[in-house]
Structure 1
Amino acid sequence: MNYLPLFIDLKSKNVLVVGAGEVALNKIKLLIRAKAKVSVIAKELCSEVQFLLHQRKINWLSKKFELIYLKKIFLVISATNDVKLNEYIYQKCNERYLLVNTVDDKFKCSFIFPSIIDRSPIIVAISSGGAAPVLLRFLREKIEAILPMRLGDVAKIAGKWREVIKKHFSNFLERRRFWEKLFKSVFVEHILNGKKEQAIKILKKNMYENDLLTGEIILVGAGPGDSGLLTLRGLQILQQADVVLYDCLVSEEVLDLIRRDAQLICVGKRAGLNNISQDEIINLLIFLAKQGKKVVRLKGGDPFIFGRGGEEIEAAKNAGINFQIVPGITSALGVAAYAGIPLTHRKYAQGVIFITGHKCINGFVNNWSILSDSSYTLVIYMGTLKAVYIAKKLILFGRLKSTPIAIVEKGTTVDQKVFTGCLSEIEKIIKMVATPSLLIIGDVVHFHEKLAWFQNENKLNKI
């Protein structure tokens, strides 16, 4: 993040604009809308700026810039055609720790103006940091189109009732749930359609509905890594969460989509580390939910595919806690697709089998005869530690040593690497692979070389 977005209160604050042409005019108009006290220094004023002076909306200080004019100034806009003057103003503002913007020269700016979508009091500001202004304009048009013009009225009415609601609901979570429920109701539609009285009736009705603050546990599959593979429902839940318990396999991109005021707790497990136990995770989920919180258990891939989601939801059910399940794209599907490997193919694989390299707690033993059937693609989760053992077993039960394999490291992310070879070479390949990784065994692996499309420049690490 090259710039930290801030919303600054300029009400009655002194702002100096050096320059009074058309470029300066745009900045002056914004400053006036923000209720700043605008003073201008310029040899001449363009006609529109002259009109603002005539309306007494600005003050014309001088025709020439002097350092004395920087006293008691909150921020400065330099909008002249004089490169040396702009450089001088930038330097002197920096010496005085003043915020300064030099128009059309981002290297002489301590702050920049974003592109603004105004639905006051709701303001949306977006910026590319000067990197892609045309793309920025395109995005602004998209956002303008989806935000109703009367959206600000919704915020204004909510603001008027905020203190009333605060007194009515003493509990913070109760207040949050009230507003979430209200904004999802017909209340918003009534305001957008100009029916404010009916909207207020809905608000009052919701105030006196005796909804108990009940907690909930929601399993959410985060997908295999790429945040674009998170489902729409998953995103919606992450924006509603009070607490999120997440695994180490969940990418930073996905974590960035969680509501900013949610509590984040890492409960991930890593081999060889002193990890939180599954029982401790379950106890924490139940404890938080019993406090009335919306608790999200965020797991890499899909929570019901080797994610122990079944155990956690079973515990929630036994504790009498409400729960939901939001499936995710499991790693086998996402990673294979990003590696260009179709898991089934009518000529090479009539089916696909998912297994884990870890043993189940009840001592479950794999049926190696079935797993060694070459008509099935075999996908192995968490198989790095047991890869050599698994390969030897498969060969012993009939899989050919020449069977193609792929090990995909950090699949679907920008760091994805695909290592290919054959079953007999697995011991040599596995030494080069970092975790997390996924092992794919079967003739369909041949398609990787032809169909690889993601990160093509790093696509192949062939043995």
Structure 2
Amino acid sequence: MRPKPLPQSDRHERIAALAKLPVFWNLSGKRVVIAGGSDGAAWKAELLQSCGAAVELYCEHDDLGETMKALVERTALIHHPHPWHCGIFTGASLALADCETDDEARAFFCAARAAGIPVNVIDKPAYCQFQFGSIVNRSPVIVSISTDGAAPILAQAIRQRIETLLPPSLKQWASLAHSLREAVNRRLTPGAARRLFWERFAARSLSTNEPPAEETAHRLLTNAEQIASRPPSGSVTLVGAGPGDAELLTLKAMRALQAADVILFDDLVSPEVLELARREAKRFLVGKRGGRESCRQDDINDMMVRFAKAGKRVVRLKSGDPMIFGRAGEEIARLETEGIAVDVVPGITAASAMAASLKTSLTNRDLAQQVRFVTGHSRNHELPRTVDWASLAAANQTSIFYMGGRMAGQIEQRLRDNGMTSDTPVVVVSSVSRPQERRWAGPLGSLSEAMRTIGVDEPVLIGVGEVFGAVAGGRIRPSEIDRLETLAGSL
């Protein structure tokens, strides 16, 4: 009896239309024929060899490109130094060609089809029964992306995005899964227990950059029943979201966001960063921001503990770097007290992003031998009382004040009271790395006035030091004035 077609409504619900059927084909030991010695043909030949295919090339010596010549010399590729003919298709599994003209492409295509061999003529879609996708290789895990030939560059961009999400060690974990499969199936009955074992195996393999150790296989088999039956163990990862630009995230941060069950994020984390998180993850805004209602730190700690003890993978997503002017120390201490596994993924701190934005080295060897990151406010919303202002006012260093917008006038006054000259270069940057980034540069004596221009509604960084001289208008430093006066006197 012929299969009954699905109603139109059911068809849409089950699977949408596909431009092409994605198929993974076993070519190990199979004969594949290629006509043409171009670089494009060489790339296809190398790809097919990596799948274990026995590749035979039909091309005259004079038509071999340098890449193909090298491939012939260093691999088992069989070279027939003459053009292709209709007899080459016997016993072949695939046929490929790189043809200059449509007439030659049509001839090769028709000959291959007549022999019943799937055929691809490179860069000529009209003569292709199948296409090669853009590949992410973690074999035995293989991801192939196709745009049906419409946008190859888009396929490459998608591949690059996927590459960032799949740790290189996934190759070894997938190979381990392959070797364990039969033994695990014998130990665990089909159903919930076996599924839970593999779910936990998959979660582990996607959340680490480390390949499995030699004893991992034995440990997994020995403890298979326990792994499948024990309650899920939660964890917390403190992740640095960077200053705002999603492209400044680290690969490890991306993977943590993709693996999260729960995300507790700061008010300053950008929507673009959150867009990269796992869709199914529950998200909670727990940010603390000056002048606004805030979530208490104790409440944040309690949430992390509660979710982790419920078996969830929690990401505490912090702007910048979690270990600089955050509450990471308090959070880690609480989690360790509760016996919860905690990890930290560093992020790009705002000062580094500011230096990059301004194209200014914070430690120019002629101007600054040290750089200091200083908080611009304390628990009491005033300047910290423990800051050594005399030290900060000394020469040959760069100081970056975080969260100092509302205290800018007091920062200026403290530095000047301790000997810093009013013409010392200063920069102010708000919303660094974001589309609304704003900058001001000028002398220290104008810092208070600058804040009236920049405003304090967005996160602000204040940079103080001679390294910002060029940014602040190219002012000549006193040391240079002395040198120029000496030079003038000798003329």
Q: TM (normalized to structure 1)?
A: 0.60
1:30 to 8, 15, 20: 20
Q: Which residue number corresponds to residue 383 of structure 1?
A: 404
Structure 1 residues 168-219: Cα deviation after superposition (integer angstroms, max 9, x where no partner)? 179x8x774243236789xx99xxxxxxxxxx99987664244653222221
Q: Which residue number corresponds to residue 337 of structure 2?
A: 318
2:444 to 408, 420, 423: 423
Q: Which residue number corresponds to residue 255 of structure 2?
A: 236
Going from structure 1 to structure 2, the CA distance change for 1:32 and 1:235 (only over 3 Å counts) comes to closer
Q: Which residue number corresponds to residue 440 of structure 1?
A: 463
In 1, the alpha carbon distance for the partners of 2:148 and 2:367 equals 47
Confirm whether residue 411 of structure 1 aligns to residue 411 of structure 2: no
Residue identity over aligned pairs, in percent, reads 34
Confirm whether residue 222 of structure 1 aligns to residue 259 of structure 2: no
Secondary structure of the residue aligned to 2:283 is strand
Q: How far did residue 422 of structure 1 move?
A: 1.1
Query: Is the contact between residue 380 and residue 439 of structure 1 (CA under 8 Å) also seen in structure 2?
Result: yes
Q: TM (normalized to structure 2)?
A: 0.57
Structure 1 residues 275-309: Cα deviation after superposition (integer angstroms, max 9, x where no partner)? 21111111111111111222111111111110111
In 1, the alpha carbon distance for the partners of 2:291 and 2:335 equals 29
2:202 to 149, 168, 179: 179
Q: Which residue number corresponds to residue 299 of structure 1?
A: 318
Q: How far did residue 229 of structure 1 move?
A: 2.2
In 1, the alpha carbon distance for the partners of 2:447 and 2:149 equals 47
Confirm whether residue 396 of structure 1 aligns to residue 417 of structure 2: yes
Query: Is the contact between residue 426 and residue 472 of structure 2 (CA under 8 Å) also seen in structure 1?
Result: no
Q: Which residue number corresponds to residue 459 of structure 1?
A: none
Task: Letter of the 1:382 partner, please give it.
Answer: M
In 1, the alpha carbon distance for the partners of 2:207 and 2:244 equals 30
Q: How far did residue 128 of structure 1 move?
A: 12
Compare 269-278 and 422-431 and name the one that shifted more.
269-278
Structure 1 residues 311-333: Cα deviation after superposition (integer angstroms, max 9, x where no partner)? 11111122222211222221112
In 1, the alpha carbon distance for the partners of 2:250 and 2:314 equals 18
| 1:3-402 correspondence runs (5 A) | 12=5, 30=20, 125=145, 134=153, 136=155, 166-168=191-193, 176-181=199-204, 207-210=224-227, 213-360=232-379, 364-402=385-423
In 2, the alpha carbon distance for the partners of 1:450 and 1:139 equals 43
In 2, the alpha carbon distance for the partners of 1:273 and 1:447 equals 36
Query: Is the contact between residue 116 and residue 124 of structure 1 (CA under 8 Å) also seen in structure 2?
Result: yes
Which of these two proteins has the greater Rg computed from alpha carbons?
A: 2
Going from structure 1 to structure 2, the CA distance change for 1:165 and 1:243 (only over 3 Å counts) comes to farther
In 2, the alpha carbon distance for the partners of 1:122 and 1:335 equals 39
Secondary structure of the residue aligned to 1:208 is helix
Query: Is the contact between residue 339 and residue 418 of structure 1 (CA under 8 Å) also seen in structure 2?
Result: no
In 1, the alpha carbon distance for the partners of 2:191 and 2:290 equals 47
Q: How far did residue 369 of structure 1 move?
A: 0.7
In 2, the alpha carbon distance for the partners of 1:445 and 1:269 equals 30
Q: Which residue number corresponds to residue 86 of structure 1?
A: none
Unaligned runs of 5+ in 1: 1-10, 16-26, 34-45, 56-114, 190-199, 452-463
Going from structure 1 to structure 2, the CA distance change for 1:355 and 1:178 (only over 3 Å counts) comes to same
Secondary structure of the residue aligned to 1:295 is strand
Query: Is the contact between residue 265 and residue 285 of structure 2 (CA under 8 Å) also seen in structure 1?
Result: yes
Query: Is the contact between residue 354 and residue 379 of structure 1 (CA under 8 Å) also seen in structure 2?
Result: yes
Task: Letter of the 1:397 partner, please give it.
Answer: N
Secondary structure of the residue aligned to 2:469 is helix
In 1, the alpha carbon distance for the partners of 2:452 and 2:301 equals 35
Task: Letter of the 2:236 partner, please give it.
Answer: I
In 2, the alpha carbon distance for the partners of 1:240 and 1:28 equals 28
Compare 207-216 and 320-329 and name the one that shifted more.
207-216
Going from structure 1 to structure 2, the CA distance change for 1:212 and 1:133 (only over 3 Å counts) comes to closer
Secondary structure of the residue aligned to 1:375 is coil
In 2, the alpha carbon distance for the partners of 1:239 and 1:180 equals 11
In 1, the alpha carbon distance for the partners of 2:224 and 2:395 equals 63
Q: How far did residue 379 of structure 1 move?
A: 0.3
Going from structure 1 to structure 2, the CA distance change for 1:28 and 1:263 (only over 3 Å counts) comes to closer
Structure 1 residues 353-412: Cα deviation after superposition (integer angstroms, max 9, x where no partner)? 111111146964321111111322110000111111111111111111111111112112
Q: Which residue number corresponds to residue 110 of structure 1?
A: none
Number of residue pairs aligned between Structure 1 and Structure 2? 348
In 1, the alpha carbon distance for the partners of 2:353 and 2:225 equals 47
In 2, the alpha carbon distance for the partners of 1:284 and 1:394 equals 41
Task: Letter of the 1:30 partner, please give it.
Answer: K
Going from structure 1 to structure 2, the CA distance change for 1:372 and 1:207 (only over 3 Å counts) comes to same
Query: Is the contact between residue 339 and residue 408 of structure 1 (CA under 8 Å) also seen in structure 2?
Result: no
In 1, the alpha carbon distance for the partners of 2:269 and 2:162 equals 29
In 1, the alpha carbon distance for the partners of 2:243 and 2:435 equals 12
- Give RMSD over aligned pairs: 4.9
In 2, the alpha carbon distance for the partners of 1:233 and 1:127 equals 28
In 2, the alpha carbon distance for the partners of 1:355 and 1:183 equals 37
Going from structure 1 to structure 2, the CA distance change for 1:28 and 1:399 (only over 3 Å counts) comes to closer
In 1, the alpha carbon distance for the partners of 2:400 and 2:320 equals 14
Task: Letter of the 1:428 partner, please give it.
Answer: E
Task: Letter of the 1:236 partner, please give it.
Answer: R
Secondary structure of the residue aligned to 2:454 is coil
Q: How far did residue 259 of structure 1 move?
A: 1.8
Unaligned runs of 5+ in 2: 9-16, 24-105, 117-132, 475-491
